[in-house]
Structure 1
Amino acid sequence: MLTRTFGAVCAITLAACAAFSSGPASADEDGFSQGEGGSHGRPVKVMIISMFGPEGQVWLDRLGPWRDIPVDGLSPDYPAVHCNRQDVCVMTTGMGHTNAAASIMALTFSPRFDLRRTYFMVAGIAGIDPQQGTVGSAAWAKYLVDFGIQWEIDGREIPSGWNTGYLGINTKSPSEKPPLDYRTEVFQLNTQLADTAFALSRNVALADNAQAQAARAKYSYAPANRPPTVIQCDTLAGDTWWSGTLLGQRARDWTKTLTDGKGVYCTTQQEDNATYEALKRAAAVHKVDLNRVAVVRSGSDFDRPYDGQTSADNLINYAAQGGFTIALENLYRSGNPLVQDIATHWGEWRDGVPKR
């Protein structure tokens, strides 16, 4: 189930920060790097990519003070990138494939930044497979899979012998791997970076609350009914929010099919393939390095119901699971060890992911 928060909370924008003027590529009296770094713009060590206001806010509340850098072409709801003295920046794309792609293209082709050595960390909330994690769990991905690029047959007219109405485009059955004509159906992230991020965060204490604990207790199996942890498994993108045991099984199967059996589905969201494709376009003209992209998604609700619950109830009443606030908090707790390691040990990270 693709997950966001209550409509009122969705309207929250990033906290207002004082605007600063741009200047030469040097540190000012406050310790900030100035807005333009020579012909390539302001250098950035880490760019944290959030998708809507509350995801960005968990970083803005902790890692400031911030300098606002407006960028032409960003979402009108989030028109500036926020950067601190560590050369760590936070941007918010807006929700969904379209907003993500447009905002990342605007960022990467802006003359205001030098992103050639930047590490990008997508950090957002998501639905989660109860067989892989639980509400509050934070998952580092190695594969990004697009759930939306499929053929679909009306569920009331599924052919005899098929277990789903979904199949790959230009295939003959649900289990056949498609020819990947779109070239955005699946991406593999840098395994070394994903493993390093996981190693840095695997033992952090994650936030929890009583409401989430009560929601977990309704599931009869682990890890759904256990406390949240930092895990490694893969993420599925699609703009259609969904809920259901059968759809969830298709998500598992589709991930296996597109990754040749190597990927393990666990989180569902809207943006990550679009974000990566935009970064890939920028990498093609040497503006970013695709080996420096990490993705962490935290579970704000389950993608399928517990035994005895309907899929409709699981979807419509997702907020009752209590995962939203702890998922946001756990983005910071799981992601910040990587951010700080890069920022404080830049000599080790500057030329690529260190071998440790």
Structure 2
Amino acid sequence: MRLSPLRSRRPFRLRFLAAPLLASCSLAPAAQAQDAAARAARTLATCKPAAPCDSPLPVKVVVVSLFEIGEDEGDTAGEFQLWKERRGLTTRIPFPQGFHDLYYNPDTQVLGVVTGIGTARSTAATMALGLDDRLDLTQAYWLVAGIAGIDPQDASIGSVALARYVVDGDLAHEIDAREIPVDWDFGYFARGTQGPHDAQTPLDPSGGEVFQINPSLEQWAFALTRDIALPDTPEIARERASFTGFPKALEPPRVLEGEQLSAMTFWHGARMTDWANHWVRQWTGGKGEFVTSAMEDTGILQAMTYLDAAGRADRDRVLVLRAGSNFTMPPPGTDAASYLLRENEGYAGLEAAVENLYTVGSVLVDELLGNWERYSQTTP
């Protein structure tokens, strides 16, 4: 258990409560919701983006999506749509300093942000959000919930992985694979090393190459979600059936622990998957296991590290969930280029991935909101 060092920026004042004020505490839920909505409306009417604000909106949970498909509601769901529709994120907060407007539920104090695809956008949006005086994020938990490529050596599409480490795949040296020495497996190797198999040079993690998720928070989250039965679908079953020789890929979707590799390049193939496993093991000192591939999470965690140092957010309250929408390599008998191009026409596991992200993430959100008196002060 960890005691959060951060508190609300609003000063605490001891008040003597008269009877009328005490009576207001027993408002019916509908009246409380109306009152919360009215307070939010007043704040948004008087406080402008990127400007001082004396009445910030309290936030308990930030749901971080990376992209949406088409509209925010009513069409094919990307990462954000289910959260917006099912969590009542109906209060729009203009966010011109970011990729997408924010949406908020004044009653539950859940906030949704869409950062945009890629590390640059996710870093900028997270930093802009953390510095926005209209929002009090000092006690907020952050749930990064996005789709990903998934290693068929670890799980099937539709599975949801909680990251213990997030590793950057962009900060590196590179030599074209056609020019590498004959004893190198990869032309991509860590800065400060003499090649991909240099185990003598210590790696300095302070450069943004690796971020560890708060272990106690991640373990708490996994304990709450590990036994969730995720639904199987005919589409997933058909896709995984071709992965003969990969027993975990042949299983139905499940919740597991596994590391997230963030890289701006959408890579694919058996050799690249081998590189990803090597890269994650190297940067985590053998403690991590590559499971999912995406783009944004090191940017989010770098911004959160800076925001924590500035007292604007709590870096130890970040969780990363990634659900497999596609495999990181083709099945036996299929070449990488053909499989990648086919997948780009539509991920076989997209619908299941976004649904399962919501299912698993909602268990965590409900636990936080239902026991906020405890979790606001003490991080699991």
Scaled by the length of structure 2, what TM-score is found? 0.82
C-alpha contact 1:59 1:332 (8 A) present in aligned 2: yes
How far is 1:277 from its partner?
0.6
How far is 1:66 from its partner?
2.1
1:110-145 alpha-carbon deviations (Å, 9 max, x no partner): 001111110000000000001111100000001000
How far is 1:80 from its partner?
2.5
Equivalent-residue separation in structure 2 for 1:320 and 1:45 (angstroms): 34
Return the index of the structure with the highest Cα Rg.
Answer: 2
Instruction: Say which is worse superposed, 95-104 or 79-88, in terms of deviation.
Output: 79-88
How far is 1:68 from its partner?
1.3
1:95-118 alpha-carbon deviations (Å, 9 max, x no partner): 101110111111000001111110
How far is 1:61 from its partner?
1.6
How far is 1:197 from its partner?
1.2
2:94 aligned residue: 70
2:161 aligned residue: 139
1:257-310 alpha-carbon deviations (Å, 9 max, x no partner): 111111111000000000111111111110011110000000000001111111
1:100 aligned residue: 122
Counterpart mapping for 1:257-276 below 5 A: 257-276=282-301
Counterpart mapping for 1:173-252 below 5 A: 173-176=195-198, 179-180=203-204, 183-220=207-244, 221-252=246-277
SS in 2 for 1:124: strand
Equivalent-residue separation in structure 2 for 1:155 and 1:49 (angstroms): 36
User: Structure 1 215/320 Cα, relative in aligned 2: closer, same or farther at 3 Å?
Assistant: farther
Aligned with residue 34 of structure 1, among 33, 36, 39: 39
How far is 1:34 from its partner?
2.6
User: Structure 1 171/59 Cα, relative in aligned 2: closer, same or farther at 3 Å?
Assistant: same
SS in 1 for 2:350: helix
User: Structure 1 93/255 Cα, relative in aligned 2: closer, same or farther at 3 Å?
Assistant: same
1:116 aligned residue: 138
Equivalent-residue separation in structure 1 for 2:103 and 2:95 (angstroms): 7
SS in 1 for 2:34: coil
SS in 2 for 1:48: strand
Equivalent-residue separation in structure 2 for 1:310 and 1:65 (angstroms): 43
Aligned with residue 363 of structure 2, among 334, 337, 348: 337
Count of residue pairs brought into register by the alignment: 327
The percent of aligned pairs where both chains have the same amino acid is 35
Equivalent-residue separation in structure 2 for 1:191 and 1:289 (angstroms): 14
CA RMSD, 1 decimal: 1.9
1:13 aligned residue: none
User: Structure 1 320/211 Cα, relative in aligned 2: closer, same or farther at 3 Å?
Assistant: farther
C-alpha contact 2:154 2:248 (8 A) present in aligned 1: yes
User: Structure 1 285/198 Cα, relative in aligned 2: closer, same or farther at 3 Å?
Assistant: same
Equivalent-residue separation in structure 1 for 2:314 and 2:205 (angstroms): 24
1:298 aligned residue: 323
User: Structure 1 91/64 Cα, relative in aligned 2: closer, same or farther at 3 Å?
Assistant: same
The residue type equivalent to 2:110 in the other structure is V
C-alpha contact 1:64 1:84 (8 A) present in aligned 2: no
